[in-house]
Amino acid sequence: NFMLTQPHSVSESPGRTVIISCTRSSGSIASNYVQWYQQRPGSSPTAVIFEDNQTPSWVPDRFSGSIDTSSNTASLTISGLMTDDEADYYCQSSDDDNRGVFGGGTKLTVL
């Protein structure tokens, strides 16, 4: 099966924009939907992006998702960073048999 690789950590200042990448090891990133989850310490994960670029109704439009087939990478973009965005972020996809795959997670620090 394929793997999803994320940077271990990223940091950016409040008000700026950060992009978190998620690279698929084999097969096309466009073959299966990519989701992004936010997990704050002591809490369950919650989705911030689903089906590559869809935003749940409760998520502010500062969050957006995209895929790039040339680099086989999905990206989560957070603009107008707020200290409340500080969390771990995980990308996730499924193979054609609906077996789930998570990326290793990225710790976002807003400083």
Partner 1 sequence: EVQLVQSGAEVKKPGESVKISCKASGYSFNTHYIAWVRQMPGQGLEWMGSIYPGDSVTQYSPSFRGQVTISVDKSITTAYLHWTSLKASDTAFYYCARQYDYGSWFYPWGQGTLVSVSS
What character string, x for contact with partner 1 (CB under 8 A) and - otherwise, covers 65-104? -----------------------x-x-x-x--xxxxxxxx
Q: Which residue has the tokens 């409040």?
A: 14
Measured from the Cβ of residue 19, the count of other Cβ atoms closer than 10 Å reads 14
Restricted to residues 39-68, the positions that interact with partner 1 (CB under 8 A) are 39, 44-47, 50-51, 56
Q: Residue 19 in contact with residue 91, Cβ under 8 Å?
A: no
Nearer to partner 1, 13 or 99 (CB): 99
- Please list the residues that pair with 10 across neighbouring strands: 108
| CA atoms of 17 and 92, how far apart (whole Å) | 22
What is the nearest approach in angstroms of partner 1 to the Cβ of residue 102?
Answer: 4
Bridge partners, 5 (sequence order):
23
Q: Give the distance from CA 23 to its chain's centroid.
A: 11
Shortest Å distance, C-beta 80 to partner 1? 24
32 binds partner 1 (CB under 8 A): yes
Nearer to partner 1, 13 or 96 (CB): 96
